[in-house]
Structure 1
Amino acid sequence: MSMLSQEKEVFWPPADQLLEAAEQIRRRLGDWPAGSKQWRICLSTPDHPSQGDLIVGGGLEKPLPEGVGLLNLEAGLATLTLNGTDYALKGEWSDDWPAALAAFLDCGFEPHDALVLALAWRAANLDELDAWPVDFSIFPTVANLPAPPSKPFPPCPDRLGLYPVLPSADWVERVLDHGVKTTQLRRKTTDSGDLKPEIERSVAAGARHQARVFINDHWREAIKAGAYGVHLGQEDVATADLNAIAEAGLRLGLSTHGYYEMLKALHFKPSYLALGAVFPTTTKVMPTAPQGLSRLTGYVRLLDGVVPLVAIGGIDGSVLRQILSTGVGSAAVVRAVTEAADVPSAISALQHEFAR
């Protein structure tokens, strides 16, 4: 377990009472690997801010130096500015939020995710057997977002089960023939001549098998083909016409990589959230470090009953039982199917884990 007080300055100026409170919280959060970065919470502005400083209040003009954060909390709005991005959260918080922030940073969370947890922290958590914040009703919400679609996205089943993410209509047809009921076509091309038939075939296969076929990224083509749903990344939310997707009656799945992105995604009322990457993956470049099973467990405890959840990233038969032990209702796989020596047997074995 990483120890807050060992060989690093947690608060500046030094604040013994805050450090003691932070250590008390940190001890109750369980065993987490040390984060790759060290952060210092500055309660006043240092003369020479350096990378890793999170400065509370003000005193710095934008643009800030790289790696230096500015944190303002007032009138129910907390705003973290870091590396050119503003993370704005609405809500209420307890007086010991700085101690909680230090504890969650020590658990390896990025500052914007640690801030979410710090704002959700309450002193009463220390009285619980597991002190981790999981009361969704007191978590903050993301501020300054556009309105969600006026028409809600249709719901998904709470437990989507095995969820292969596949590169072609051939693969979609193949896995649906073997009894899979949820899948995604991830066709990485901008060639409309290729996309249209691939998406149409995939959607048709879903209709034949009464299966749920999501289309990755290509929401316009998915609408035209009458797909069951669309899956988008965080970066796509700003450019996709969510109203058009909702009006067409398609479900929406959104990728998330931590607490802040989960809260941001929930603002748009999607049909499901994908949580990842749980383990290292080579199928795409990930914007964040692998989340791991401990974080996935915390996400599921927080969001179970709020929205259907899909675990994704580096998942195969060797870890699927561990994934499902967190309570998550679906797991996305890629190479566990597409690189299997015996595809029918691989699908059968994976499906068996969901039936246990």
Structure 2
Amino acid sequence: MKCDSLAMRLYAVTDRAWLSHQTLKEQVEEALKGGATCIQLREKELDELSFLEEAEELCALCRAYHVPFIVNDNVKIALACGADGIHVGQHDMQAGDVRKTIGDNMILGVSAQTVEQALEAERNGADYLGVGAVFATSTKLDADAVSHETLGEICRAVSIPVVAIGGISKENIMQLSGTGVDGVALVSAIFASGDIENTCRELRALSEQMVKACG
């Protein structure tokens, strides 16, 4: 499976901080039912075995829904579980090294905050870019702010899909209209919701409207 712009429309990034009475699999399936177009598993605390078991479970679930499954940062886990792709940040493994490790058939996503970083990521084999934080976010406290002007410059500079991330919600998503992004990546706006499926349905509709306005 390769990455296209449609996979960026509603990109859900997991966060077990919002687990309560549900399992992560149950939350992710709700998101998929509501129209999530890509799932990224982000785990910072789990041991390797638990991480792999979770990744295999979610990978099979995403496959059933024909939606790309991406693992954040951990190339070893991504390869072991048969994920569709891997996403790395500027402070993780270098994109060019990741591409050499995973080969040509897996999706490679790279975080970028500047035009220079975006162009370098594209040269090194990135299939899409995650750009942010486009709004203030409590999910990733060390995230650098990216202005909407810079976001637009990045979108115009590269030929690969761009997904905006960071503090995006139903209330502010339409402010990204005209930037050129292919969609939005969300964490708490999805997984902190009391009704993930319907929240995703609303967010997917708003994202489609926003992207159409971009065009």
Instruction: State the TM-score, normalizing by the size of structure 1.
Output: 0.52
1:176-216: CA deviations, max 9, x gaps?
A: 13332211111112501210111001100111111111111
Asked whether the equivalents of residues 13 and 41 of structure 2 are also in contact (C-alpha less than 8 Å), the reply is yes
Q: Which residue of 1 aligns with 2:111?
A: 255
Structure 1 unaligned spans of 5+: 1-153
Q: Which residue of 1 aligns with 2:102?
A: 245
Q: Paired residue for 1:331, among 184, 188, 208?
A: 184
1:208 paired to 2:56: no
The DSSP-based 3-state class of the residue aligned with 1:205 is: helix
Q: Paired residue for 2:167, among 309, 314, 321?
A: 314
| Cα distance change, pair 281–226 in 1 and its aligned pair in 2 (3 A) | same
Structure 2 unaligned spans of 5+: 16-23, 210-215
Q: Paired residue for 1:177, among 15, 23, 33?
A: 33
Q: Which residue of 2 aligns with 1:162?
A: 10
The DSSP-based 3-state class of the residue aligned with 1:352 is: helix
Asked whether the equivalents of residues 2 and 106 of structure 2 are also in contact (C-alpha less than 8 Å), the reply is no
1:286-311: CA deviations, max 9, x gaps?
A: 353x11222212222222xx111111
Q: Which residue of 2 aligns with 1:297?
A: 152
* Rounded Cα–Cα distance in structure 2 between residues aligned with 1:194 and 1:269: 30
Q: Which residue of 1 aligns with 2:91?
A: 235
* Rounded Cα–Cα distance in structure 2 between residues aligned with 1:277 and 1:215: 19
* Rounded Cα–Cα distance in structure 2 between residues aligned with 1:287 and 1:177: 29
Instruction: State the TM-score, normalizing by the size of structure 2.
Output: 0.84
Q: 1:263 Cα deviation (Å)?
A: 2.5
Letter matched to residue 325 of structure 1? G
**CA RMSD of superposed structures (Å):** 2.0
Asked whether the equivalents of residues 256 and 273 of structure 1 are also in contact (C-alpha less than 8 Å), the reply is yes
* Rounded Cα–Cα distance in structure 1 between residues aligned with 2:86 and 2:27: 18
1:129-188: CA deviations, max 9, x gaps?
A: xxxxxxxxxxxxxxxxxxxxxxxxx74112321111112444323311333221111111
- Matched residue pairs, number? 199
* Rounded Cα–Cα distance in structure 1 between residues aligned with 2:48 and 2:25: 15
Larger-gyration structure (1/2): 1
The DSSP-based 3-state class of the residue aligned with 1:210 is: coil
Letter matched to residue 64 of structure 2? R
Asked whether the equivalents of residues 310 and 329 of structure 1 are also in contact (C-alpha less than 8 Å), the reply is yes
* Rounded Cα–Cα distance in structure 1 between residues aligned with 2:103 and 2:90: 17
